[in-house]
């Protein structure tokens, strides 16, 4: 049996007719950059997130960058975030000339540990960016409380969490700004690059709309130095079609996670992800922690199962951020999980049989794992388990 990590084709086939019609419409209207189809999607997405405004932009990275710019973050400022995220979260801070300040994550949720935030605040702190990693919201209530107390802004990195809920409220409209990626592989994916920002703040909405379009309010009247980060009309149209199905697709992911959870119960040597009491997790990524990660992934690969690692090296240990001078060991929870995470195949169209096949593979591996390890040592490619 083959189990791909992700299958975008399966989803396309289920909505092919609607997508083709939507693309035709964009071409007929010549609404290629911004325009009608983007505006329509923005309205739908704002309402989906229970926010007042949504702004379509070029990517999730640009959503984060534009949000920070709208808050006035610049050189000399600090922004607090987590090291176990996709590098874009930190890049957006650096692109403003500001400095990312990392705090470690909670052992169970792998999202920002609120109890560590206050000690990271300095007079230069401007904002906090919690990341809703893998589709599970960060613990927003204490983070918002700390932000309020210290006069800091909160930007949610919701790039992996379209439709996830924190205490019954959709993410993206809890902080001052919420940033989304519509990269094709995300739970709500465009057919190319795209991103979005959600806010309840009319002023931020206005500034970001200007910034994404060269700082102009009317054509050739440039009030701010902005950029081109308009969303493509094609992406707006595709996203409008797909948004209708997102709740169903997220439900299917949750059902798949439940099957994994049940089938992996009692397997030694792994830890399955935990859905926090406050969360409605939408499983963008289903990451288990495994002791012999590389050997396990090799064994699964031989069975036709593709896995991923999100992310093998935390941001503070990336070469690009070596200038910060943060040593190994600074963020033990994030570093340990970076060595242990294995992302199992996860997408709505995955079948029960496929999930059980993956779970069986993991179970069998752990029953036979000593011999696997011996073989690996002989072949000279033994991995060191840095648990
Ligand atoms: C995908 C992602 C981004 C960046 O989004 P792009 O659309 O790829 O630019 C930022 N943060 C997180 C957590 C992501 O997963």
pTM of the model: 0.95
Domains of the chain: 8-102+113-243 (3.40.640.10), 246-379 (3.90.1150.10)
Residue carrying structure tokens 């009608």 = 36
Q: Whose CA is nearest to atom 5 of ligand 1?
A: 60
Q: Which of 57, 111, 160 gets mutated to test ligand 1 (max ligand atoms within 8 A of its CB)?
A: 160
What separation in Å is there between the alpha carbon of 206 and the centre of ligand 1?
23
β-bridge partners, 177? 155, 199
Q: Whose CA is nearest to atom 2 of ligand 1?
A: 159
What separation in Å is there between the alpha carbon of 134 and the centre of ligand 1?
11
Segment 171-196 mean pLDDT: 98
Task: Look up residue 332 and give its two tokens.
Answer: 């033990």
Residue 378 has pLDDT above 60, yes or no: no
Pocket of ligand 1 (CB under 6 A): 59-61, 85-86, 88-89, 131, 157, 159-160, 181, 183, 195
- What is the C-alpha to C-alpha distance for residues 294 and 281, in angstroms, rounded to an integer? 27
Q: What is the mean pLDDT of the chain?
A: 95
| Residue 129, number of CB atoms within 10 A of its CB | 28
What separation in Å is there between the alpha carbon of 30 and the centre of ligand 1?
29
Confidence of residue 370 (pLDDT cuts 50, 70, 90): low
Segment 154-173 mean pLDDT: 98
Residue carrying structure tokens 């099957």 = 259
Residue 166 has pLDDT above 80, yes or no: yes
Q: DSSP assignment, residue 384?
A: P
What separation in Å is there between the alpha carbon of 346 and the centre of ligand 1?
18
Residue 28 has pLDDT above 60, yes or no: yes
What separation in Å is there between the alpha carbon of 186 and the centre of ligand 1?
9
């Amino acid at each position: 049996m083959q189990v791909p990590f992700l299958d975008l084709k399966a989803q396309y086939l289920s909505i092919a007719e609607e997508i083709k019609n939507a693309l035709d419409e964009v071409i007929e209207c010549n609404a290629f950059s911004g325009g009608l189809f983007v505006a329509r999607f923005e309205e739908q997405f704002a309402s989906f997130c229970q926010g007042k405004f949504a702004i379509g932009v070029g990517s999730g990275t640009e959503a984060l960058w534009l949000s920070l710019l709208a808050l006035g973050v610049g050189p000399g400022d600090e922004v607090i975030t987590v090291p176990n995220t996709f590098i874009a979260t930190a890049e957006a801070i650096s692109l403003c000339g500001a400095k990312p300040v990392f705090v470690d994550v909670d052992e169970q949720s792998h999202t920002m540990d609120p109890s560590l935030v206050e000690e990271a605040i300095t007079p230069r702190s401007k904002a906090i960016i919690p990341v809703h990693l893998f589709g599970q919201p960060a613990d927003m209530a204490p983070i918002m409380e700390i932000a309020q107390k210290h006069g800091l802004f909160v930007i949610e990195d919701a790039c992996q969490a379209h439709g996830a809920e924190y205490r019954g409220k959709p993410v993206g409209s809890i902080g001052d700004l919420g940033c989304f990626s519509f990269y094709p592989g995300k739970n709500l994916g465009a057919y190319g690059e795209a991103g979005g920002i959600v806010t309840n703040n009319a002023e931020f909405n206005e500034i970001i709309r200007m910034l994404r379009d060269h700082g102009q309010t009317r054509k050739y009247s440039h009030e701010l130095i902005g950029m081109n980060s308009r969303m493509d009309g094609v992406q707006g149209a595709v996203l409008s079609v797909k948004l209708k199905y997102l709740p169903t697709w997220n439900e299917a992911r949750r059902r798949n996670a439940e099957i994994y959870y049940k089938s992996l119960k009692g397997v030694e040597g792994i830890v399955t992800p935990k859905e926090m009491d406050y969360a409605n997790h939408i499983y963008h990524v289903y990451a288990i922690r495994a002791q012999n990660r590389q050997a396990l992934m090799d064994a699964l690969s031989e069975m036709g199962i593709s896995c991923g690692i999100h992310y093998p090296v935390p941001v503070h240990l990336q070469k690009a951020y070596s200038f910060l001078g943060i040593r190994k060991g600074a963020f033990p929870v994030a570093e340990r999980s970076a060595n242990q995470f294995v992302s199992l195949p996860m997408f709505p169209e995955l079948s029960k049989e496929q999930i059980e096949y993956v779970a069986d593979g993991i179970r069998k591996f752990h029953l036979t794992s000593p011999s696997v390890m011996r073989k690996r040592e002989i072949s000279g490619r033994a991995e060191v388990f840095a648990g």
